[in-house]
Amino acid sequence: MRRERAPTPSLTAAAPMLQLAAQACQLEAAALYRCDGERVLPEAVATVGPGCRLDDRDPLLRRCLQTRQLAHRRSDGGDGVPSRYLAVAPVLSGPDRLLGVLVVERMPFLALHHDNLALLLALLGYYADGVEHAAAARAVEDALPDCPHDFALDYARLARLRRDAGIPSTVIALAFGTDEHSADWFEQTVRSHRALDLAWPREGGAQRVLMTLMPLADTEAATGYLLRIERMLQAQFGIDFERGRIGVHTLPVPADGDPEPLRRLLGRCGGGSADGRPGSGHDA
């Protein structure tokens, strides 16, 4: 009996992913297309910049489809390649299943180098995890049953990004008291997260806790976030973390995606330090 090929999943949330890739990799004109097997479907699911169209006979596109690897002009002998594209990158699930292709028509010449293209591939792999591998978040949801699915999924995605490309991300946990003033501070902090961050507010325990997952954020970026939040609290309420008895905890997203450090981080936020005051710390 003939075995049917599994259908290619839809490329959901493609537009915000492409915006992130454009910002991180300096893409000026690019488009993302879904694939059905070896066939590129003609309608773009996301675009950035003007005028990026599909040419399914383009030699860089054909090479990408054949090799399942990124193809770009510099690797093929410079500007003599008869291609409308500067680069074509696959969106791969696992080593070989092609979900889509990203074609790049315009980007700064100085951005067309190995490190930048490696970052682009890592971001596409990060995206592919969310498209087809939502099960990667299951371990996080099993360890933390009330964890929102989007938070668990991005934790798993960002773990892969650290493992494959060495790009760090960070979880920051802020623990507030349960009194009325703390409730105001907590709610204002929840409203102050960055657009790219994922916030997980938790109430009903010994403390109100705001877990913030910061993609592509190293220790310096996490420190900048904490300074911004503390300045906001000072400006609006006249308090800092110490005066407000707000616990501060950070966790670099682990490369293996293990949810246990996240569970321990949350456990530390649920109680106080030995003298009854909220503690501050760092989970490795």
- Asked whether the predicted pLDDT for residue 279 surpasses 70, the reply is no
pLDDT digits (tens, 9 = 90+) for 18-76: 999 999 999 999 999 999 888 999 999 999 998 788 999 999 999 999 999 999 986 54
* Last residue in a domain, options 107, 132, 157: 132
CA distance linking residue 223 with residue 172, whole number of Å: 10
Given 98, 132, 166, the domain boundary residue is 132
pLDDT, residue 78, reads 53
Q: Are 39 and 70 in the same domain? A: yes
Domain that holds residue 210: 136-282
Amino acid at residue number 210: L
How many separate helices (H) and strands (E) can be counted in the chain? 8, 10
pTM of the full predicted structure? 0.58
Is residue 1 in some structural domain? no
The CATH number assigned to the domain holding 82 equals 3.30.450.40
Q: How wide is the angle at C-alpha 261 spanned by C-alphas 271 and 209, nearest 5°? A: 40
Tally Cβ neighbours within 10 Å of residue 85.
27
Domain count within the chain: 2
- Helix/strand/coil percent split, the chain, to 5: 40, 25, 35
Share of the chain above pLDDT 70, in %: 87
Domain closes at, from 110, 132, 154? 132
- Around Cβ 175, how many Cβ atoms within 10 Å? 28
Helix (H) or strand (E) holding 120: helix 114-132
Residues 155 and 116 in one domain: no
**34 with 149, same domain?**
no
- Tell whether 180 and 209 lie within a shared domain: yes
* 23 & 142 share domain: no
Average pLDDT over residues 273-282: 41
Question: In this structure, what CATH number is given to the domain that contains residue 168?
Answer: 3.30.70.2880
Please say if the pLDDT value at position 237 is more than 80.
yes
Say whether both 182 and 76 belong to one domain: no
pLDDT at 80 over 70: no
Does residue 272 share a domain with residue 176?
Answer: yes
